A and B are shown apart, each in its own frame.
Chain A
Amino acid sequence: MNLQLLLLPALFASVSLDNSSDAAFHRGVRERANAAEARPAFAEAAKGYREYWHYKHQRGIALAWGRASYLAGDLPSAIAAFRFGLHYYPADAELLAGLRFCRAEATSLGAASVPPEGLRQRFTPGQRLAFAVLAMTFFAFGLLCQFTVRWRSSVAWMFIGILGLVTTAVLEWQCQREIAVDLAQPPCVVRFDTPLRTGNGESYAPLLPALLPRGTEARELARRGGWVQVQLESGEIGWLPEEMLVMQI
Chain B
Amino acid sequence: MSKIGKALITIVLMAFPAFAQPITSVEQLPALDRTKEDFYGAIVGAGPRVQVEWLMSSNSVERGGELILTLVVTNAANPSELQRPNLKDRPEFRELFDVIENLPEQPDPKRVEFRYKLRPRNEGTIVLPLPRYRYYVPQLPEGRRFQLANAPELKLTVTKPAPTSIAAVPISAPGEFFRLPSWWHESSANSPPSSEWRNTWWIAAMLFPLLASILGIASYRYFNPDAVKRAELLRRSEVRKTLQRLNDANDTEALATAIHSYLQDRWHIPTLGLSSREIADAFADVNIEGARELQQIFERCERLRFGGGNDSIPREDAKAWVLAVETESQ
A237 cross-chain contacts in B, Cβ below 8 A: none
Is A115 in the interface zone, CB < 8 Å from B? no
Closest chain B CB from A5 CB (angstroms):
20
Closest chain B CB from A178 CB (angstroms):
15
Give per-residue flags for B216-241: 1 if the beta carbon is below 8 A from chain A beta carbons, else 0.
11001100000110011011010000
Within 8 A of B (CB), among A101-134: 101, 125, 129, 132-133
B174 cross-chain contacts in A, Cβ below 8 A: 101
B228 cross-chain contacts in A, Cβ below 8 A: 150
Q: A32-B178, A88-B192 are in contact. Are A58 and B231 (CB under 8 A)?
A: no
State whether B171 touches A32 (Cβ < 8 A). yes
State whether A60 touches B190 (Cβ < 8 A). yes
Query: Which among B181, B205, B209, B221 has the highest number of chain A CB atoms within 10 Å?
Result: B209
A29, A61, A136, A143: the one contacting B206 at CB < 8 Å is A136
Closest chain A CB from B223 CB (angstroms):
11
Query: Which among A37, A70, A147 has the highest number of chain B CB atoms within 10 Å?
Result: A147
Q: How many A-B residue pairs have CB under 8 A?
A: 115
State whether A144 touches B213 (Cβ < 8 A). yes
Dominant secondary structure of chain A at its interface with chain B? helix
Q: A60-B183, A98-B177, A129-B201 are in contact. Are A148 and B231 (CB under 8 A)?
A: yes
Give per-residue flags for B231-260: 1 if the beta carbon is below 8 A from chain A beta carbons, else 0.
110110100000000000000000000000
State whether A152 touches B217 (Cβ < 8 A). no
Query: Which among B178, B179, B228 has the highest number of chain A CB atoms within 10 Å?
Result: B178
State whether A133 touches B206 (Cβ < 8 A). yes
Within 8 A of B (CB), among A36-92: 36-39, 57-61, 63-64, 67, 70-71, 88-89
Cα–Cα distance between A34 and B168 once the two chains are bound (Å): 5
B171, B209, B214, B231: the one contacting A38 at CB < 8 Å is B171
Is B208 in the interface zone, CB < 8 Å from A? yes
Closest chain A CB from B14 CB (angstroms):
50
A67, A132, A150: the one contacting B234 at CB < 8 Å is A150
Is B267 in the interface zone, CB < 8 Å from A? no
Size of interface on B: residues with Cβ below 8 Å to A: 43
State whether A36 touches B168 (Cβ < 8 A). yes
Is A35 in the interface zone, CB < 8 Å from B? yes
State whether A94 touches B181 (Cβ < 8 A). yes
Within 8 A of A (CB), among B138-193: 168-171, 173-174, 176-181, 183-185, 187, 189-193
State whether B235 touches A34 (Cβ < 8 A). no
A152 cross-chain contacts in B, Cβ below 8 A: 235, 237
State whether B181 touches A64 (Cβ < 8 A). yes
Cα–Cα distance between A29 and B180 once the two chains are bound (Å): 10
Closest 6 CB pairs of A and B: A60-B184, A140-B213, A58-B190, A150-B231, A34-B168, A140-B209
Residues of B within 8 A of A (CB): 168-171, 173-174, 176-181, 183-185, 187, 189-193, 198, 201-202, 205-206, 208-210, 212-214, 216-217, 220-221, 227-228, 231-232, 234-235, 237
What are 14 sample pairs from A and B whose C-beta atoms fall under 8 A apart?
Answer: A33-B168, A33-B170, A35-B171, A59-B192, A60-B183, A60-B190, A61-B190, A67-B177, A67-B179, A71-B177, A98-B177, A129-B201, A132-B202, A141-B209
